[in-house]
Amino acid sequence: MAVLLFFSGFGMSILYETKRILRNHRIRPRKRLGQNFIVDSEFLHKMISYADISMDDVILEIGAGFGFLTELLSPLCKRVIAVEIDPRIIRVAKRRLSKCKNVTLLQGDILRLEIPCFDKVVSAPPYSISSPLLFWLLERRFKCAVLTLQREFAERLVAEPSASGYSRLTVEVYYRADVELKDVVPRRAFWPQPKVDSVIVLIKPRKSPFQLKNEKIFSELLRVLFTQKNKKIRNSIRPFLGRFNLSRRDVEEWINSLSFMDKRVRELSPEDIGLMANEIVDRMCEKGLL
């Protein structure tokens, strides 16, 4: 979700300025690109405050819009890397930000671009890329990320086992980071107004709360289990074990000896799934499969 901010000192409301720029440049917000623009400066200031920015920080902004948030970040940090997918919008942003010498504007898809190293993220990304963006982000080194995300999606990040929102994403994020839900951003704070509210989310990488013997096996196991999270483990794990050219007898033997086989996937804590993944790795090593 691209972000717009306009300062009261310019004598116009954010909403007025947003509409003026769009009208003058004949730009219609594209729903496909998640172009809902923030028109309430309170939430932009909150996002920046949660990031605790210093002059040593390189900030990544995803969905830079016309550069109003970028302009606000620029004097607070060493450098801003602002990414915007829409070439129509980035042309306007380049003109607006021409005096901000520490801003690098990149046009393209954040998930496909080569992004320089950064310290922190301050952004309201499009709803449509929230999940792949988080997986992309968690594979990189950073100090913290402050993201404005769809409320339902944000609540999935902190869901407890057995809750409806508990998912593969919940477990992957829990393993790698602390997540804190901050402020609800009502839909009226955007224009055009989306159908749902958002939440400002603070994400900080941390030392993993449990040890894994093989992170790849853990991630692959999660992917398989959570496609059938209401099934018992013994039923949902068979396709995963079948990948390793085990005999039917070996598969059944493993299922009967692994932990938690009679629980349902949604009932397992991240630690439980980690323990199961480690047991599978041990057995694979015994069989010479790893």
Residue 134, domain CATH: 3.40.50.150
pLDDT of residue 34: 76
What is the count of structural domains for the chain? 2
Q: Same structural domain for residues 232 and 194? A: no
**Per-residue pLDDT reduced to its tens digit, 165-220:** 999 999 999 999 999 999 999 999 998 999 999 999 999 999 999 999 999 999 99
* Residue 145, domain extent: 8-205
pLDDT value of position 272: 97
Q: List, for residues 253-283, the tens digit of each pLDDT value.
A: 999 999 999 999 999 999 999 999 999 999 9
CB-based contacts of 99, cutoff 8 Å, min separation 6? none
Judged by DSSP in three states, 62 sits in: strand
269 and 140, same domain (yes or no): no
Contact 51, 124 (CB under 8 A): no
- Do 110 and 235 belong together in one domain? no
Provide the 3-class DSSP secondary structure of residue 264: strand
User: What's the predicted TM-score (pTM) here?
Assistant: 0.90
CATH number of the domain where residue 247 is located: 1.10.8.100
Contacts of 123 (CB under 8 A, 6+ apart): 3, 60, 61, 62, 63, 145, 146, 147, 148
pLDDT class of 290 with cuts at 50, 70, 90: confident
Residue 2 lies in a domain: no
- Distances, alpha carbon 251 to alpha carbons 62, 246, 257, 258, 267, in Å: 45, 6, 10, 11, 23
- Note whether residue 3 is domain-resident: no
Give Rg (Cα) of the chain: 22
